[in-house]
Structure 1
Amino acid sequence: MKVLILGSGYAGLNAYYNLSSSFDKELVSESNEFIFYTAYFRHLMNKTNYISKISFINQKKVKEIDLKRREVKFTDNSTESPDLLIIALGCDKSKTTSKINETFSASEISLGSESWRDEMVSIQLAFYLKRMGKKVSYYGDLLRWAGEKTSDLVKKELENAGITIAEKAETIIPECRQWESIGEFNYSRNFEISKGVYAIGDIIKGWPRVGELAMRSGVFLGRYLSGKEKGDFIPILINILDTGRGKAIHIRSDKPWGGKYESVKVSRVRSIMKRFIEKHYVSKKGNMGFLYKL
């Protein structure tokens, strides 16, 4: 059975890694690189590695997708009609990373994000800019969508770091843009949006853009199609925000999906864990591996 995966980001790679060898699987992407954006922040400060080369990627650009016919057309005029199609194209981060790069050359920044979905990015950026000795203020909902306890603790740690809460932001981190020719998809049971067609990762409408969540969706789908996972995918927000002061905030919450679970803790151990995660995903070429069970 032929499985075609479009996109080599967090979700697409982990779907590929977790599909059993019984499938004839192919991963298609414009780039043969995996970029771990969590480590990218560290790179801007310390020039650490954040890119992995992926040898098994077939480099092609998607032109058009026909969901009903399960057909993909590419800009090189080739066409593929697989038995199963997995869409994991994510979104265009070029404007986002460009604006992030600009902030590192400024000495005073009033920071915010265009969308709540990318607020984790702007808050982590605020912590790191402050660590570099810049004057930083932050404007936003402070992750209130993840829960009151999370929001209160994030606000406290921002203030402890010397980051003031502003009434407006002068520098806005632009939203990661969906590809116009593809759009977004509503989450449906086990990610199937049409017969034999699945959508995972940041291309899911209304989900916070968190790499860990995208990876989990890919792992689940690969295992589900391989018969190793039963039932539905249960989304949960899991993220670590480094305060830049030797501690990190560990957030777990299902409240963005109407749940009641919320856990938020801050400690030095979480900071060490984040450093490990940054190295793990780059060295493992985006493979979530045993971290899926944590």
Structure 2
Amino acid sequence: MHSYILAILLLLSPSIAAAEDADNNRAVRNPIPDRLVVLTFDDSARSHYTVVRPLLKEYGFGATFFITEGFDFKTNKKDYMTWEQIRELHEDGFEIGNHTRDHLGITEKTVGQLPEQLDGIAEQCKAHGIPAPVTFAWPGNALTNAAFETLKQRGIQFARRGGAPEYPYEEGRGFAYQPGLDHPLVIPSAGDARPKWTLADFVRAVQQARDGRIAVLQFHGAPDTAHDWVSSSEQNFAAYLKYLKLEGYRAIALRDLQEYVAPDVTPADYRTVIEARRKTLEAQPKTASE
């Protein structure tokens, strides 16, 4: 892990590196401890309530649940939570984030629909006694900077993407969040759990949480009975949380980043660090496992 992060810095010219250091210093409010992770869960899966919730409570971990009414959420309560269950997650102290009303991928073509998509979830939150969301997850991991202003207007402080484009979507791999380098509205997933993941895949993701970097983890259901290609088995998920507990990790919600990171400090171009990482990966020799 250290090698490619160091390589990223070497890719930057001295003047750019100095500017990035200044951005990092301004972005960080409080020292970021090693082994700090953010747990996030997408798509309103029913197992978030039946499986994930009790395990998080057992270990005392925080988390963000990104809620959408997309797919067949309104009629299918075999695979998706009810709003009453979502409210219970809030009452337990977990964060409820916004994943758009219809799970709409936000691109330059669809960004005009973003206000109503955000408002649809915010209004349901209000109706069920849940605060308006201050975090967002990009549906389908599609994104455009044309959405930034709307997100800010709707009170969104932090937004999470996937591990792409640095890594292929199918691998579920990614980079840890680097405040000052990564835009707070384009926070990468250090890992996006998949059915074939083993504990080693999870460990590879979370061990990036050091030296001022925060590992933001993306999950769907455990299991995800509606979307098997992003599902985690209950057994695997329990093993992941047990590892975090045994190894002394602190797990927080995405909103809790504000303790450490100033959400109004942004890089000049969110793509700079992404391109640096991609070039670093392209320059690395391939291993047998890859």
Same fold (TM over 0.5): no
| Larger RCO, structures 1/2 (Cα 8 Å, 6+ apart) | 2
Question: TM-score, normalization: structure 1?
Answer: 0.25
Question: TM-score, normalization: structure 2?
Answer: 0.25
